[in-house]
Homo-oligomer: A and B are copies of this chain.
C-alpha cells in the first residue's frame, strides 16, 4: 500500500450564486469525502463566477497540475450555463451539439410528449469528442475531456454523476486517518504535538480547535498512508493526552483558539 502512487485532484465550482451567498455549496464537501475514501487527494478547490474567462483560466491551471479535475455547475439549459463553452475553449475544441446526447434527450422528451426546445438542446452541448457521464436523475449527461470531469451543480445530480465516474478513476494509496478527541485547547498541546509530528515524519498530524460558545477543545487527526505509521503516531498522541490529564484537569480555556 505505502508504495502506491499518490493521485491528486482539484475541483472547480462554477456559479455566481455560490459567490453571492445565495446558494451554499454542498458539492465540495461531498467530493472531498468521496475522493478521500477512494484514495485520491483533493489538493485544491476554486470557486469562480459564470464568466468564461475566469472558468477557462482556472480550468487550465488546475488540469495541468492534477491527475483529475471535477467541475460543478453551469451545464443546464439557460443562457447563464456557459460551462460547455468555457471547457471547449480551454481545450481549443469546438463546442457542438453532441449527436448521442441529442438522441438521448430527444428520445426522452418525445416519450414524455414534451417539446425538445432550443434551450433543452443546449444541454447536449459539449466539446467535440467528449465522453459522457451518465445522469440517472435527469438524463442530460455530464462529460469528460482528458482529465476534466464536467458535472452538474444540483447536488443530487452531481452526486449521481460522481458515483458513475468513480469506478473509472485511477486511485492511489489511501490516506488513512484517525481522529483523537482531546479535551485540551491547542495552547496546551502545541509544543508536545509539534514534537510528536517531528518524531513521526511519515504522518501528517493536524489539530482542529472546536468552540462551543464558551470553551475550546481540540480534535487531533493523525493521517498516514501506512497503517503502522498511523498506529505509532496515534499512540504517541494518546500518551500525550493522558500525560496532560495526569498533570491537571483540562482547562478548556476559551483563549486557546
Contact = CB atoms under 8 A, between A and B. Distances in A.
Given A76-B186, A193-B79, A254-B137, A20 B48 contact: no
A154 B216 CA distance: 10
Interface string A119-141: 11011000000000001011110
A78 B189 contact: yes
Interface stretch (A21-29, A84-92, A165-173, A225-233): A21-29
B190 A138 contact: no
A17 B257 contact: no
A120 B34 CA distance: 35
A117 interface: yes
Interface string A63-106: 00000000000001111100000000000000000000000010
Contact of A157 (B119, B140, B186, B211): B211
Contacts of A146: none
A257 B137 contact: yes
Contacts of A112: 253, 255
Contact of A32 (B21, B77, B117, B186): B21
A7 interface: no
Interface in A146-187: 152, 154, 156-157, 175, 177, 179, 186-187
18 contacts: A21-B32, A21-B36, A23-B208, A44-B47, A44-B48, A76-B186, A76-B257, A78-B190, A78-B194, A79-B194, A79-B205, A108-B255, A117-B191, A119-B189, A123-B257, A138-B211, A138-B255, A138-B257
Given A20-B175, A80-B205, 16 more contacts: A19-B45, A20-B32, A20-B223, A21-B32, A21-B33, A22-B179, A78-B189, A79-B194, A108-B255, A118-B191, A119-B190, A135-B257, A137-B211, A137-B257, A139-B255, A157-B211
